[in-house]
Structure 1
Amino acid sequence: MFDPKKLLDDLLGSKVPGTESTVRDHAGRATQMAKDNPLAAGALVAVLLGTGAGRAVTGSALKLGGLAAIGGLAYKAYQNYQKGKQPADASAEPELLPPPEDTSFHPSQAPQGEQEFALTLVRAMIAAAKSDGHIDEDERKKIADKLSLSGIGGEAEEFLLAEIEAPLDLDALVEAAKTDAQKVEIYTASRLAIDPESRAERGYLDMLAGRLKLPDALVDHVEATVTAASETPAKPATGTIWGA
């Protein structure tokens, strides 16, 4: 079985560390990149899933690892929301820290276990990445060909291809959230996967926020927090009523 936490780390990597290049620029050298740098394969996966080379987290968020980074971003957004701050304040805040161990946002507090919740977050990212419906048969073949060069491992490769092929199951995704904190984290992971540039992507995120029963103000804080931790600015979003 592949390591879901490692795959989540891979999905959040976009730049080739130590360079200003993206994996898209070096796709022809994917195998060597995977050997030279552990994040290179992940960067390729992110590009293949449509997340774009400039949409992943950077800096301190990337250093934390995928599970802690998503938890930290979700926790920061929730804390700012609780304190009544303005979403715009997120850009002026210090480096991202992992969520405190005594909060439900910390990976160790996941009722279903870290690995299982990491798998849920991976599925959330893939669902968001394919929400614009651009993956046709030719694109699937290209994805399969490039994944085979990425060095992520056969089991992880098979899992990703199966998830890309699978129909969207929003019910299963929403039901996978065992706590209110995990609802915020699932939305945060989904937002990290895409910069909603199309009506379909924006509609998907709005639908997800509604199904997770996240309030508008909290969704706005997630949007602002993710934007502050990413390379590409994004538009604010709306949601629904917390707990409704």
Structure 2
Amino acid sequence: MNTRGLLDQLLKSGQSLLQNSSGKPGTGKVPGLGDLLGGKAGGLGGLVSGAGGGALAAGAMGLLMGNKKVRKVGGKVLTYGGLAALGVLAYKAYGNWQARQGQGDAGEPQTLDRLPPAQAEQHSQAVLKALVAAAKADGHIDARERELIEGEFTRLDSDPELQRWLQGELNKPLDPAEVARAAQTSEMAAEMYLASVMMVDQEHFMERAYLDELARQLRLEPALREELELQVRQVSTS
């Protein structure tokens, strides 16, 4: 099951999302859900017909995030450059936290960007689980949208095992405790939280409450959580 490849495409999809929303890269205009579902140029219909994997991933990411959320926090997605970038941010946050705790001799954090393929796949599955759950935190994904998202995931990767797993994740009730159980190391917990922060609007009560409970279930130290959120803010405004 190549979760790693699918997640990498989703995290790299920001530039395609921008280009297909306006025809001009770097304009900052992000499409709403209505644009993505429409058949007009720049909409999901346009992305799907003859488009490359990056554009398809942008369609899937746009559907996951939803109309209001894409417009409000889409910029955070657009700043990410795939799994390697996510790993670098987690590494930096984790390293800064260790230094502040006087744990400089604790060894280098084993984040996504520093792992062999088998371990990176395990981390990727946990991060994708967190990303899908965070996308559901505002309640916008109904049965129709689940079907559309599943269709876009199938276009990106037709592996039946991966599709069954994704379908299961999309259909699960939102449960931060269940999500957190996927974190087998503290670095995985940091990466999962980082991806979740990327997906939510922290000014939205339901989504902020979800993040608070996820952090609690992941047993993130408050100082580490603060460092992770700082990394997202810095990369979003740079």
- Normalising by structure 2, we get a TM-score of 0.73
Give the match for residue 10 of structure 1.
9
Distance 1:151 1:144 in 2: 9
Give the match for residue 80 of structure 1.
96
Offset of residue 167 of structure 1: 2.1
Offset of residue 195 of structure 1: 2.9
Distance 1:106 1:162 in 2: 24
- 1:221 equivalent in alignment to 2:220: no
Offset of residue 109 of structure 1: 4.1
Q: Which amino acid aligns with 2:63?
A: L
Deviations 1:220-242 (A, max 9, x none): 221110122236x9xxxxxxxxx
Give the match for residue 94 of structure 1.
none
Offset of residue 122 of structure 1: 0.4
Percent of paired sites with the same residue: 33
Distance 2:168 2:25 in 1: 32
Give the match for residue 195 of structure 1.
201
Question: Could you tell me whether the CA contact under 8 Å between 1:126 and 1:164 is conserved in 2?
Answer: yes
Alignment size in residue pairs: 207
Distance 1:141 1:178 in 2: 30
Alignment of 1:154-173 (within 5 A): 154-155=158-159, 156=162, 159-173=165-179
Distance 1:33 1:73 in 2: 33
Give the match for residue 152 of structure 1.
156
Give the match for residue 56 of structure 2.
41
Offset of residue 54 of structure 1: 2.5
CA separation of 1:126/1:114 partners in 2, compared to 1, >3 Å: closer, same or farther?
A: same
Task: Calculate the aligned-residue CA RMSD, in Å.
Answer: 3.1
Gap regions ≥5 residues in structure 2: 37-41, 102-106
Match of 2:192 among 186, 193, 215: 186
- 1:208 equivalent in alignment to 2:214: yes
Match of 1:30 among 36, 40, 47: 47
Offset of residue 29 of structure 1: 0.7
Alignment of 1:52-63 (within 5 A): 52=70, 53-58=74-79, 61-62=80-81
User: Secondary structure at 2:219's aligned position in 1?
Assistant: coil
CA separation of 1:178/1:159 partners in 2, compared to 1, >3 Å: closer, same or farther?
A: closer
CA separation of 1:177/1:144 partners in 2, compared to 1, >3 Å: closer, same or farther?
A: closer
Offset of residue 69 of structure 1: 2.0
Q: Which amino acid aligns with 2:10?
A: L
CA separation of 1:29/1:106 partners in 2, compared to 1, >3 Å: closer, same or farther?
A: closer
Offset of residue 118 of structure 1: 0.7
Deviations 1:28-68 (A, max 9, x none): 21224633xx321111111111162423052xx51xx32x2
Question: Could you tell me whether the CA contact under 8 Å between 1:72 and 1:105 is conserved in 2?
Answer: yes
Offset of residue 27 of structure 1: 1.7
Question: Could you tell me whether the CA contact under 8 Å between 1:48 and 1:143 is conserved in 2?
Answer: yes
Gap regions ≥5 residues in structure 1: 86-100, 234-244
Deviations 1:82-116 (A, max 9, x none): 3449xxxxxxxxxxxxxxx9532245547972212
Deviations 1:139-161 (A, max 9, x none): 3344455x27x831333555433
